[in-house]
Amino acid sequence: MAKVGTMDTKPIRVDYSNGDYSRAYDLITGAGLKIIYKNVSSVEPYHVTIHLENIASRDAAAQLLDEAGINWYPATPFF
């Protein structure tokens, strides 16, 4: 059943074409953090925007990615 309400999240963006997404996904899910939604860009630059369960989870995921040497960026709109 879907939740109803506002998502309280700060998304993370990682590169897709260089393998960072696969490494980030394995690291985040392996740590028990819950990914709510992810979106793969279909135009260059190819990247994935990952929304985690809450802001605390996002901060924990960002720290994990930093420690693993995976580049991540705050999500910004693109057209």
The confidence score (pLDDT) of residue 50 equals: 93
The confidence score (pLDDT) of residue 1 equals: 52
Structural contact between residues 2 and 49, judged by C-beta atoms closer than 8 angstroms:
no
The confidence score (pLDDT) of residue 9 equals: 76
Q: Express as a percent the part of the chain with pLDDT over 90.
A: 56
Count other Cβ atoms within 10 Å, centred on residue 72: 19
What is the residue-averaged pLDDT of the chain?
87
Overall average pLDDT of the 24-48 stretch: 91
> What is this structure's pTM?
0.81
In total, the chain counts a number of residues equal to: 79
Domains contained in the chain, CATH given: 12-74 (3.30.70.260)
Measured at the alpha carbon of residue 66, what is the angle toward residues 64 and 72, in degrees to the nearest 5? Answer: 105
Count other Cβ atoms within 10 Å, centred on residue 39: 13
Tokens 């809450």 belong to 54
